[in-house]
Structure 1
Amino acid sequence: MTSSLRAGVVIPTVAALKVAISLSGLPDLLRNDHQLSSPLTSFSQLQEGLYLFKHGIDPYSGGTFRHSPLLLALFSSVLPTSTLFAAVFWALSDAVAAWALVEIWRARQNVSSSTRDGLVALGYLANPYTILPSLALSTSTLENTLLLLAVMFAAQKKAAPSLLSLAFLSHLAPPAILIFPPLALLLLTDPHSHLASPQKLSLNKRRIFPLVLEFLIYAGALTFASTLVAGSWNWIPQTWGTWLTLPDLTPNPGLWWYFFTEMFDHFRPFFLMVFSMHLVIYVAPLCIKFQHDPLFALFILTGVLGIFKAYPTLSDPGLFLSMTAAFPEIFPYLRHPIVTSLLHLHAALLLPLFHHLWLTQGTGNANFFYASTLVFACANGAAVMDSLWAGMRIAIGKNTEDYGIVQE
């Protein structure tokens, strides 16, 4: 492997290239694209909230600002919001995310470095689903970085920074709290691949309680800090409550917005409960099935959240697709990789086309764009199912090889 594909060269090179592209004016064209940023991740809305906050006006009183008070505190006191700094900061965030993914790969392979490090980094940095939201300055890029950092620290057995990263991420995107069970299992086991030798996990449940307590302490401290920044508890229904009540039906690549646009008001609470609980039901089965390999369970759960969360952007499924680079053992066992790739190619063409026809040209309607999001959901679902199938087939394939059995 040439030195040009080493992570230490690839990551800063691509980061510098992203800064150059960001300063070209392209982000101004992407910033308000509904596929790349949602009302909860839009940089434009963050700037509006910062303007109100700096002028002594409660940004949460208007019912349109959805960002965490933690972002208000960071960008109003520590981090400036100039065009140059934003370009550099988001590029650095991508670089840190790619580095974290490389470290996850190394921990899983139990090596200090490998010839695949650069390819793993490119799996994140060269993914169009992560590049475009980053250029649009969507805060979903920061969320991806926090998630990868939490997983990286867990794989390295560093409980405090891992749980703190997850607590911070949960404040920005509450559905991320569902990652806690497999993350806790990862902290108590090892990150190495055990898909070929599934065994029941012998775990002392008393070891989990300190992790739960530590996470709650971090989450409580961040909640208290957020309340001090906001000056009241009004930020909670405007941020966390948005994920449960879905007050903003701005189009996005997800499955919620169109369904609730057409929903009768008296059915709305029931289906909000159904859609919210639908995310929760995947956690226990995945943790139980892959208790011998919690890192793989976390990987699959990331893909599920990318499909079914209330306000997704392209970066959510993009993170899952990028993480596949850290699990090369599943590649030979993927069932329909060509079909899944073609579905993603099809969706990648339909999404911007139908979005443009509906919202720019005015020659279509909401059904156009929602049809493309359904194709996108099918592509993401196919990727998750393929990976899940491969993870379960590895053990069978290994056993047949050991006994000299030829698979048809």
Structure 2
Amino acid sequence: MQTPSSSAVAVGLVASRLLLATATSATDYLIHDHQLSSPLTSFRNLQEGIYLFNHGINPYSGGVFRHSPLYLSLFATVLPSSKTFASILWTFCDVVGAWALVKIWHARQNVSSTPRDGLIAASYLLNPYLVLPSLALSTSSLENTLTLLSVMFAAQGRASAALLLMAVQFHLSLSTLILIPPLLMLLISTPASSLALPKPFTGSTNRLPALIIEFTAYALGLTAASTLVCNGFSWVPQTWGATLTLPDLTPNPGLWWYFFTEMFDHFRDFFLMVFSVHLLIYVAPVCVKFQYDPLFATFVLAGVLGIFKAYPTLSDPGLFISMISLFPEIYPHLRHPLVTALLHLHAALLLPLFHQLWLMQGTGNANFFYASTLVFACGNGAALIDCVRAGLRLAIGKEVEGMVVIQE
């Protein structure tokens, strides 16, 4: 975003976002939408917890408040929790997220600026899957910014900042555990584009134990601080535990809620374990296969998280979609981009329609909304598979091209 035209466009986008958030009733309407806020990211739940905390009541005793104590302590002491201030803060965080995405692109290309900077920033600021949750004041928007900042610092080789922010993000959302291995790989290697030049991992593994110890220290320090804020460990089952046990079956764009609504109780524990392990099984294969490009591995696992997270919102797959802009070399190798785009368009129409029919009009049932979430999952899955295939195809194409040159 170095050219004047790009800067002007960026300022215009930010101003329009801020005006939409503060001068209209969009937030009042969207804040109740289950597609944009989950029980773990709802701003209304956050305000309720802050109110209880300020009046000397443990907010975790009622089984409704599921935000991290970090949010609780921050908004109850430092930041006001009014909607107007929150709208400004959320818009600022989106701007920081777009800036971090551009900086990741710079680190990947090893340059200070490119003509694509404005396009990359726009892919984040204009992504409807990110704009709408931000207008709804879902804390998932803040978590996306933290994720991008941690990846940015890792790509720049700033280990302490990257590990600290990743520890905060892990504390806010337990599912982001799967992003830690590729982040560590990125810290001990290079972020430069190497999809077309696959080779064994060449990073220095001697630093790895020290990095793991540093991350663990940050995580333990945040856990201790949270325990002091809450005068005990009552926050653990209501925050981290909620991700593992799924106590709240409020509808969302994910795949878990309907399955466990219909689940017999004596099968529940087994399938909770299966769903949780299923999210983890992708980490090792992706990190091993894309060991020569840890940034692409991070991108792929962000896509996995957007599909299989326990309490997702639209902002989770939205982050993956915006990160596609970091890998323009895969575009010619995408096999079904039109089909994937149409699946997302189809889901974007069905999700609010069936949500309205079922929960507002009462003329449908849970199968209506869950059918639309399955279409949405198919769209996200198709995008992820196509990107993985394109990344692999890029490497194969370069190998074949090299063989042809040698033969000639």
Shorter-chain TM-score: what band?
Answer: over 0.9
- 1:290 is aligned to 290
**Aligned residue identity for 1:11:** A
- 1:112 is aligned to 112
SS at match of 1:60: helix
1:206 Cα deviation (Å)? 2.9
1:14 Cα deviation (Å)? 1.8
**Does 2:353 match 1:353?**
yes
**Aligned residue identity for 2:338:** I
Q: How does 1:203-352 map to 2 (within 5 A)?
A: 203-352=203-352
**Does 2:185 match 1:185?**
yes
Residues 104, 152 of structure 2: 8 Å contact kept = yes
1:186 Cα deviation (Å)? 0.3
Residues 183, 298 of structure 1: 8 Å contact kept = yes
**Aligned residue identity for 2:21:** S
1:207 Cα deviation (Å)? 1.7
Alignment partners' CA distance in 2, 1:287 and 1:311: 24
- 1:21 is aligned to 20
Deviations 1:224-266 (CA, angstroms, capped at 9, x unpaired): 1111111111000000000000000000000000000000000
Q: How does 1:76-91 map to 2 (within 5 A)?
A: 76-91=76-91
Deviations 1:182-215 (CA, angstroms, capped at 9, x unpaired): 0000000110111111111134433210110000
- 1:49 is aligned to 49
SS at match of 2:303: helix
Alignment partners' CA distance in 2, 1:242 and 1:270: 16
Structure 2: which 5+ residue stretches go unaligned? none
- 1:140 is aligned to 140
Alignment partners' CA distance in 2, 1:238 and 1:5: 47
Residues 354, 372 of structure 1: 8 Å contact kept = yes
Residues 5, 119 of structure 1: 8 Å contact kept = no
Deviations 1:18-54 (CA, angstroms, capped at 9, x unpaired): 1110121111000010000000000000000000000
Alignment partners' CA distance in 2, 1:310 and 1:131: 21
Segment drifting more, 196-205 vs 81-90: 196-205
Deviations 1:98-126 (CA, angstroms, capped at 9, x unpaired): 00000001111111001100000000000
SS at match of 2:60: coil
Alignment partners' CA distance in 1, 2:296 and 2:275: 24
**Aligned residue identity for 1:370:** Y
Alignment partners' CA distance in 2, 1:11 and 1:178: 32
- Residues 219 and 110 of structure 1, relative CA distance in 2, 3 Å threshold: same
Q: With structure 1 as the length reference, what TM-score do the two structures score?
A: 0.97
1:16 Cα deviation (Å)? 1.9
C-alpha RMSD over aligned residues = 1.3
Alignment partners' CA distance in 2, 1:9 and 1:210: 43
Alignment partners' CA distance in 2, 1:232 and 1:2: 49
Residues 188, 204 of structure 2: 8 Å contact kept = no
Alignment partners' CA distance in 2, 1:268 and 1:168: 30
Q: How does 1:136-175 map to 2 (within 5 A)?
A: 136-175=136-175
**Aligned residue identity for 1:16:** A
Residues 16, 91 of structure 1: 8 Å contact kept = no
Alignment partners' CA distance in 2, 1:246 and 1:255: 12
Alignment partners' CA distance in 2, 1:133 and 1:5: 28
**Does 2:10 match 1:11?**
yes
**Aligned residue identity for 1:181:** P
SS at match of 2:59: coil
**Aligned residue identity for 2:387:** S
- 2:102 is aligned to 102
Alignment partners' CA distance in 2, 1:176 and 1:49: 23
- Residues 164 and 395 of structure 1, relative CA distance in 2, 3 Å threshold: same
Alignment partners' CA distance in 1, 2:353 and 2:203: 51
Alignment partners' CA distance in 2, 1:12 and 1:236: 41
- Residues 83 and 356 of structure 1, relative CA distance in 2, 3 Å threshold: same
Q: With structure 2 as the length reference, what TM-score do the two structures score?
A: 0.97
Deviations 1:314-342 (CA, angstroms, capped at 9, x unpaired): 00000000000111011011111111011
Residues 11, 98 of structure 1: 8 Å contact kept = no
1:10 Cα deviation (Å)? 3.7
Alignment partners' CA distance in 2, 1:207 and 1:3: 39
Residues 189, 204 of structure 2: 8 Å contact kept = no
SS at match of 2:61: coil
- Residues 221 and 11 of structure 1, relative CA distance in 2, 3 Å threshold: farther
Alignment partners' CA distance in 1, 2:61 and 2:101: 39
Residues 10, 121 of structure 1: 8 Å contact kept = no
Alignment partners' CA distance in 1, 2:162 and 2:243: 24
SS at match of 2:239: helix
Q: Give the total of aligned pairs.
A: 404
- Residues 385 and 85 of structure 1, relative CA distance in 2, 3 Å threshold: same
Alignment partners' CA distance in 2, 1:52 and 1:102: 40
Structure 1: which 5+ residue stretches go unaligned? none
Alignment partners' CA distance in 1, 2:9 and 2:367: 41
Segment drifting more, 176-185 vs 252-261: 176-185
- Residues 117 and 5 of structure 1, relative CA distance in 2, 3 Å threshold: farther
Alignment partners' CA distance in 1, 2:196 and 2:5: 29
**Aligned residue identity for 1:184:** L
SS at match of 2:292: coil
- 2:201 is aligned to 201
